[in-house]
Structure 1
Amino acid sequence: MDPYVDLLKSMVAQHDKPRFLLGIDGLSRSGKTSFVEQLSFILNNENRPYQIFHLDDLIVERARRYNTGSEEWQEYFHLQWDVDWLSNHFFQKLKEEEQITLPFYNGTKDTHENSTIPLPKEGLIIIEGVFLQRKEWKHFFDKIIYLDCPRETRFNRESNETKKNLSKFENRYWKAEDYYINGCHPAESADIIITS
């Protein structure tokens, strides 16, 4: 078992609010999905109500984030998600609403399909994704865990085919990551840091 299982159990046991909003922040390929899967396993074993959201399910269509005239890194950081819409129609509603309707992105069709998700009356709401500690979103969370992982390690986790497009990493992803790290200081600002 991973060493952070006890940490997760402790965190889940300590929260005393009807709904507790937990962010799992980390850059691409830092292990967020695996971490959330393990947390889900723990919550299921303890019969605790929860709901998980993956921020990548809520990105905008390609025409709004590619070839926009902005630099590639700006498209990724500023345009990949409709930041203001998510603030008002997603994050802001998570503490109060009984259910939430969201436009989930279908990457194959490059379209969105609305889906209504019930929210637990009491329990944990977990959001995993990149850039969660941007100024527009950070204040919504009760706690944020940041998975800290070196860029070289994360890049090595990419498929061989994906690694071939190095310029996309250099111009789009890595510059946006640097902007986030230098502007938001996610490792210093998170409540808990885990090396992944």
Structure 2
Amino acid sequence: MAHFDLEKILPKPPLKEPFLLGIDGLSRSGKTTFVSELEHLLEMSGYRSVTFHIDDYIEPEQKRYNTGHEEWYEYYFLQWDVAKLKEHLFDSIMERIPPENLKADVVLIEGVFLQRDEWRSAFDCVLFLECARDVRFGRENEETQKNLKKFQERYWKAEDYYMDTVKPLERADFVIES
């Protein structure tokens, strides 16, 4: 796990319940692995947590492919219904927590593009996992790497748009090298 000090991230108890912690980062930056290890660290520190993965809310393919827009636009703007997620996840997070986790101290939301304007204000704290593009691309399986054009036209252009317009490295509360 990338090194960081949990004490710096979480305020001193008692926490505002739940404390909403975003784990942002570009594709293959290690967010899911980081969150898994963070859940364990939270548990060992006496915190109860529940995790939501933004990829669990991806729109059906017909809404995000072959729409007439450029591929990067489809990925950034159509991959998720941004307004619906704001209303039905971020603005009503307590309703989404499973009953067995209602006493969660920390809610983790993990995903790409979390600091877009529509969602950023929902978080108490956001970590951004910084990872070089070549390292992230190397984490793709060999078959996926063969479709370089898709990365260039869909994923990397959307990531560049996010980095240039939203500036997540500047907006994040903490940047962690992964």
Q: TM-score, normalised by structure 2?
A: 0.93
Equivalent position of 1:106 in the other structure? none
CA distance in 1, matches of 2:104, 2:56: 24
Structure number having the greater helix percentage: 2
CA distance in 2, matches of 1:59, 1:14: 35
Deviation at 1:83, TM superposition (A): 0.3
CA contact (8 A) 2:2 2:177 kept: no
1:153 aligns with 2:135: yes
CA distance in 2, matches of 1:168, 1:175: 10
State how many pairs are aligned: 176
Deviation at 1:44, TM superposition (A): 2.1
Q: In the alignment, residue 117 of structure 1 is paired with which amino acid?
A: P
CA contact (8 A) 1:9 1:42 kept: no
Equivalent position of 1:110 in the other structure? none
Q: Which runs of 5+ in 2 are unaligned?
A: none
CA distance in 2, matches of 1:13, 1:42: 15
Deviations 1:77-107 (A, max 9, x none): 000000000011110011xx3x32xxxxxxx
Q: Which stretch shifts more, 43-52 or 166-175?
A: 43-52
Q: In the alignment, residue 157 of structure 1 is paired with which amino acid?
A: R
CA contact (8 A) 1:50 1:120 kept: no
CA distance in 1, matches of 2:45, 2:136: 32
Equivalent position of 1:104 in the other structure? none
Taking only aligned residues, the RMSD between alpha carbons, in angstroms, comes to: 1.6
CA contact (8 A) 1:49 1:124 kept: yes
How do 1:14-163 residues align onto structure 2 when only pairs under 5 Å count? 14=12, 16-94=15-93, 97=94, 99-100=95-96, 117-118=98-99, 119-163=101-145
User: Once superposed, which parts of structure 1, at least 4 consecutive aligned residues long, lie more than 4 Å away?
Assistant: none
Structure number having the greater strand percentage: 1
Query: Matched residue of 1:70: which SS?
Result: coil
Q: TM-score, normalised by structure 1?
A: 0.84
Q: Percent identity?
A: 49
CA contact (8 A) 1:65 1:80 kept: yes
Q: Which runs of 5+ in 1 are unaligned?
A: 101-115
